[in-house]
Amino acid sequence: MPGAEEARQLLTAQPVAIVRCHASSAMGGMQSNHPHSSRPPFFALEVAIRAIEVLRPVVVRIRQCDRDLGEQLRRALSSVALNVAEGNSNEGGTRLSRFSTAAGSNSEARAALRVAVAWGYVDASQVEAGEALLDRVARLLHGLGARR
């Protein structure tokens, strides 16, 4: 399956350590210490985006067989990434709420994949790499305090 090796690499990758300095102790406000960019990628978001990339052909196939299920899966996968990104930009309860919403959407996407396999729209082997990435997202969100 195209992208399966890259998916395996993300599954075994470790999050990048990010050092931030508060404005009261550093000139220029909150700054990230990262060699490649002014703002490093948020690891959970990168895995969620990779899951979308890996599952994109599967979503297209499911949508050909069942438009509603394909659209629901597409929306759920997008919701995971968008809520992870939003949660990363928030603090406190709002942060946990967004991560919890992302975890719920992640569960919905995984259920949609199981339903598609059960209906015979796709084979289990076609969703395996994406499932593994969504499993990684679930673990990362749990570690970030998601309540689902």
Structure tokens at 23: 């404005």
Give residue 92's pLDDT.
Answer: 86
- 87-127 pLDDT, tens digit per residue, is 999 888 899 999 999 999 999 999 999 999 999 999 999 99
Instruction: Provide mean pLDDT across the span 39-52.
Output: 88
The answer as to whether 25 is a domain residue is: no
DSSP the chain: -TTHHHHHHHHHPPPPP--EE-GGGSTTSSEE--SS-SSPPPHHHHHHHHHHHHHHHHHHHHHHH-HHHHHHHHHHHHHHHHHHHHHHT--HHHHHHHHHHHHHHHHHHHHHHHHHHHHTSS-HHHHHHHHHHHHHHHHHHHHTT---
- 64-78 pLDDT, tens digit per residue, is 999 999 999 999 999
The answer as to whether 137 is a domain residue is: yes
What's the length of the chain? 148
Indicate whether 37 pLDDT > 60: no
Of 40 and 83, which is predicted with more confidence?
A: 83
Share the mean pLDDT of the chain.
83
The answer as to whether 8 is a domain residue is: no
The answer as to whether 109 is a domain residue is: yes
Q: Domain holding 66: CATH number?
A: 1.20.1440.60
- 58, 122 in Cβ contact below 8 A? yes
Of 147 and 4, which is predicted with more confidence?
A: 147
Residue 68 belongs to domain spanning: 42-143
63: confidence class by pLDDT, cuts 50, 70, 90:
very high
- 134, 106 in Cβ contact below 8 A? yes
- Structural domains of the chain, count: 1
The answer as to whether 4 is a domain residue is: no
Indicate whether 8 pLDDT > 80: no
The answer as to whether 15 is a domain residue is: no
